[in-house]
Amino acid sequence: LEDAYNVHIVFEDGTEHQAQASSLRLGNIGHPKSGVPEGFTFVNGDGCKGTVVRFGDCFDVDVEWELGGITNHNAACVKQGSAYCPNYRSVTGVGYFGIGKYKPNRSGRTHNYNERVYESWQRMIRRCYDEKEQQKPSCVAYKNVKVCEEWHNFQNFALWAEDKEDKFVKGWDLDKDMFGNGKLYCPEFCTLLPSKVNWFLCDGYSSKKSGLPEGVNVISSKIKNAKIGYVARCHINGKREYLGYYDCPYEAGKVYKEAKEQEARRMAEEYKNLLTEDQYQKLMAFKLEDIHRKQ
């Protein structure tokens, strides 16, 4: 006994505990490990199975998960089944938080990651693997686009983003097109770009789906036997500009190609102070695939 607020208690099994004298007199002191002894197995709200492998005190309980890894929780979370398993694929059945430098906040502890980085990671996973998300007009371009296995784990994406966190803000986008083929998010291909540059690189997707040259749309009249024409449009200085009406889709495509390559060089100069040297050189040398007239 130190004082009325610090009574040292030893239970029959050797477990030690600190309590108040008033609680001892009333007989309302429970065993610290009550409900969560070592070996205790439970299933959390996500259906993940965990086993208590160490009990330090009611705020220091180690849980080993069937999905892999050991995490630390308070006893109340374990008893209630609310302890979070970071290896549970909670984002569209694909993405998971993982175990590493960055800590989740679902365990009731303060998280230590950049919320915008996490939101960008979630958005990337959902665009590529959530069927409902891909039905939105803004996400049709993400069908058949994948995220590398390494980035299914948020920890790896967050480590890649560490020296780029100042660009995870409004006005900047995660881009997969400038250095890749547009079909895979991965460390080798991805970069952060000003939104206007990213939109510029994505321009023309809808016409690609139709089989027409990039940047070209067909204009058909409702009048029977009327001539079909083709319109070229290109994002120039942040606005989608009309480039003219043509009888042949490949004539329209040629005009679009010239306009887009010229705009790439203009944007490279406009954003030179914000771009990396690699990004700047890529825009300066930007070329569309040669447009060939169908035979």
One pLDDT digit (tens) per residue for the chain, 295 residues: 668 777 887 877 677 767 777 767 766 565 666 668 899 999 999 999 999 999 988 889 999 999 999 999 989 899 999 999 999 999 999 999 999 999 987 655 668 889 999 999 999 999 999 999 988 887 878 889 999 999 999 999 999 999 999 999 999 999 999 999 889 999 999 999 999 998 888 765 544 556 788 889 998 766 666 668 999 999 888 788 999 999 999 999 999 999 999 999 999 999 999 999 999 999 999 998 744 433 3
Helix, strand, coil shares, percent, the chain, to 5: 35, 25, 45
The whole-number pLDDT of residue 167 equals 96
User: Which are the contacts of 183, defined by CB distance < 8 A and separation ≥ 6?
Assistant: 144, 145, 146, 176
The reported pLDDT for the residue numbered 208 is 54
Predicted pLDDT of residue 292: 41
**How far is residue 51's CA from residue 109's CA, in Å, rounded to a whole number?**
20
Cα(265)–Cα(237) distance, integer angstroms: 12
Residue 225 CB-half CA count within 13 A: 0
Q: Which residues, 6+ apart, have CB-to-CB distance to 290 below 8 Å? A: none
Provide the token pair at 287: 């070329």
**What is the helix (H) or strand (E) element at residue 218, kind and residue range?**
strand 216-219
Instruction: Quote the pLDDT of residue 181.
Output: 87
Distances (CA, A) of 88 to 19, 60, 170: 37, 22, 29
**Residues 88-101, buried b or exposed e (16+ Cβ, 10 A)?**
bebbbebbbbbbee
pLDDT at 295: 32
CA-based radius of gyration for the chain: 29
Amino acid at 112: N
| Angle ∠(175,178,184) on CA atoms, nearest 5 | 60
The per-residue pLDDT for 188 is 97
Kindly state the tokens that stand for 39. Answer: 């070996």
